Amino acid sequence: TAAEPGPAAPTPLDLPGGRYIVLLDEKPVATYEGGEPGLAPTKAKEGERLDAASPQAKQYSRFLQNRQKDVASSAGVTPDTTYQITLNGFSANLSGAQASKLKGTKGVLGVYADEVRHPDAVPSTQFLGLEGAGGVWEGVGGIDKAGAGIVVGVVDTGISPENPSFAGDPLSTTPSDTQPYLAAGTDADGAAVTQVVYKKSDGGEFRSTVVDKPGAGKDAWSAAQYSTKLVGAQYFSEGAAATGFSFAYDYLSPRDGAGHGSHTASTAAGNNGVDATVEGVDFGAISGVAPAAKVAAYKACYDGPDPLVTTDDICALSDLLGAIDQATADGVDVINYSIGGGSATSV
């Protein structure tokens, strides 16, 4: 005897009940280029912004609202939210029958189950594969050891020593094989100076002259600004001065007047677990890529009068070269150079 037929297989239109987003096939306001009788285009022209409050946009929005109402009514649905500007459609709680009917309705582009999502972020350290099992940090013994024993030189706008990303202990004058310390030395001209000395993990030595500018003015700087984290801070300004640049809006010291140098330094080697707050908004804890590394800042860029633009700032090539040269001489292991401009054939 013939086998009894089984239950009919569900058709592609069979959908379960739930919350859905229903999209229609007419273009939304943002991308509508015309074509509907009596309705002018609403898409912004190249180089212009969308004007969703224009008479044309309002008229086309009403057209879309009426279309949405007609489609929803055909399935006995009352939308709770409608969309006309960046997409054309509505959302609603649908029975399985309503969802399936709408999916087969002419003019419906698609019926999509609503989703519950959560706030998320992909920090650079995660994107680069530093975090988690099998990450680079795990391979070096954990985040607390990432960058240990090396010095990251940053050629930029200087450094803000008070920034918690560069917090460290005060420097001792007692020599150490593991911690940076202050020691007497001589500079390239043979003059007596105070230097920060640090014995690196590769057996080499980092040795950088301390900038000493006493006083209470804005350009003051002393050995107290250095720490077991910030082991180097110098500045180079001869080239900028030669152009007639005014330093009135920045510091003639290693101090950062623009923020860019502190930002790049913290990204490269800032301490781990530092709470970041910008204008009262908490962004959570941040970390540099190599948080156990030491930081040495070589300022060669200066801020102009307008903090919102960079066209009045200056990074003289000669100062940049001097900073790179000194960083190399001091014994940094790597240089972060986030400076743009100049021709492809520049030094």
Encode pLDDT of 14-59 as tens digits: 789 988 889 999 998 989 999 999 999 999 888 776 777 789 989 9
Start-end ranges of CATH 3.40.50.200 in the chain? 124-337
Contact 178, 156 (CB under 8 A): no
Strand partners, 197: 181, 207
Measured from the Cβ of residue 156, the count of other Cβ atoms closer than 10 Å reads 27
Start-end ranges of CATH 3.30.70.80 in the chain? 18-113
Output 163 or 132, whichever has higher pLDDT: 163
Q: How many helices (H) and strands (E) does the chain have?
A: 7, 13
Strand partners, 112: 21
What is the mean predicted confidence (pLDDT) over 284-294?
90
Cα separation, 62 vs 293, whole angstroms: 60
What is the mean predicted confidence (pLDDT) over 89-118?
86
* CATH superfamily membership of 124-337: Peptidase S8/S53 domain (3.40.50.200)
pTM of the model: 0.63
At 342, is the pLDDT very low, low, confident or very high (cuts 50, 70, 90)?
A: low
Q: Write the CATH number of the domain with boundaries 18-113.
A: 3.30.70.80
